[in-house]
Amino acid sequence: MTTTLARSASRRLRQESSRLFVIRELGIVAALTLLVVVTTIVNPRFLTSQGIKDLLLGSTILAILAVGQTVVVITRNVDLSAGSVLGLSAFATGSLFVAAPGLPIPVAVVAGVLLGAACGAVNGGLIAAVQVPSLVVTLGTLYVFRGIDYTWASGRQINAADMPGAFLSMGNTTPVMTMFAIVVLVAAGYYLRAFRSGRELYAIGSHPDAARLAGIPVGRRVLAAFVVSGALAGLAGVLYAARFGTLDANAGTGLELNVVAAVVVGGVAIFGGSGSVYGAAIGALLLTTIGSALPALGVSPFWQRASVGALILAAIGLDRALAVRLARTLRSGR
């Protein structure tokens, strides 16, 4: 009887949690829609075919980074080195094409992903093995990876002329870039929902000590999460190279803050245990749209940054309210 009641309460809690976070993500979609509508009314040139293309291309890279960051944040960690890994992977991709002009594009993509995964393994290994907080480790590797990039570049710049035309065309073709993001998003979402190891990431973020007592290999799972984040940052670096063509050691500088912002605004709890990659991707699209819409509305750059900060604070407040409501549901279930 007790077991049946416990299962019923657990099922009711999961249903309530899912319902609340669906509402949370629908709220982001509503905010995005409202922003687009208002901007289009004020400036009809905003939503032209070229404007839509720029929005999709601009949000693709950020969305892929946000998916990787979500996998990490769910485990109650954070990866501040994503921008540096992107920059390192982008420059490595350009350097490969310079060194081997006939290199097949899939080989360059795989090389960039593997380089990113290696960087993620460094982060995850230090965090899982030495038990150092992820904020400290990834803040350090942010500068280490960027330093490697600067040393490698040595002031050099790789130009679009150094890379294959088909590769550059891939980065400026909306269906191709969007397809990369959709595949990554669907694969990550399915893994987190359908696989036991994916669901264990949520358990780790909810309560790491309880997860250990339940027999979950916390260290291995956290390491895997950082490898995934690094691999997706590496893929984003390859797409960055294809998108912009001109590469130097500054590629991706400061991007990690936008990634964390997209994840938080997208409804992923910064303290782990809840959220989805779909919300993070919508958050990335919302931030990209804000970056394009506010200049079209004549808003100064200061207020553009302030609006992102206000969104982050609002998202944290809303997450807290949802957590309180879930706690009440749990108590009533008991």
Domains of the chain: 17-333 (1.10.3470)
Predicted confidence at residue 16, as pLDDT, reads: 55
3-state secondary structure of 163: coil
Predicted confidence at residue 307, as pLDDT, reads: 76
DSSP result, 238-288: HHHHHHH--B-TTTTTTHHHHHHHHHHHTT--TTSS---HHHHHHHHHHHH
Predicted confidence at residue 319, as pLDDT, reads: 67
Predicted confidence at residue 6, as pLDDT, reads: 45
Among 67, 84, 82, which Cα is nearest to 266's?
67
Predicted confidence at residue 3, as pLDDT, reads: 47
User: How many Å apart are CA 134 and CA 83, to the nearest integer?
Assistant: 15
Token representation of residue 47: 């939503």
Q: Bridge-partner residues for 247, per DSSP? A: 158
Look at the block and give the residue holding tokens 């500054």. Answer: 250
Look at the block and give the residue holding tokens 């009887």. Answer: 1
Q: pLDDT digits over 192-244, tens only?
A: 999 999 999 999 998 888 888 889 999 999 999 999 999 999 999 999 999 99
Q: Bridge-partner residues for 158, per DSSP? A: 247
Quick check: 315 and 263 in contact, CB under 8 A? no
Give pLDDT tens digits along the chain (334 positions). Answer: 444 544 454 455 555 556 666 666 777 888 888 888 888 888 888 878 887 888 888 899 999 999 999 999 999 999 999 999 999 999 999 999 999 988 999 999 999 999 999 999 999 999 988 888 899 999 999 999 999 999 998 888 999 888 999 999 998 888 889 999 999 999 999 999 999 999 999 999 988 888 888 899 999 999 999 999 999 999 999 999 999 988 998 998 889 888 998 998 888 888 888 888 998 999 999 888 888 888 888 877 777 777 777 777 777 777 667 666 666 665 665 5
User: How many Å apart are CA 177 and CA 151, to the nearest integer?
Assistant: 30
Distances (CA, A) of 259 to 238, 254, 262, 263, 298: 17, 9, 5, 6, 25
Predicted confidence at residue 192, as pLDDT, reads: 93
Predicted confidence at residue 330, as pLDDT, reads: 56
Predicted confidence at residue 174, as pLDDT, reads: 83
Identify the DSSP state of 158. B
User: How many Å apart are CA 10 and CA 12, to the nearest integer?
Assistant: 5
**CB under 8 Å to 296, separation ≥6 — which residues?**
39, 42, 43, 45, 46
CB 281: neighbour CB atoms within 10 A?
Answer: 28
Q: What is the largest CA-CA distance in the chain?
A: 72
Within 13 A of 121's CA, how many CA atoms are on the CB side? Answer: 6
Predicted confidence at residue 329, as pLDDT, reads: 63
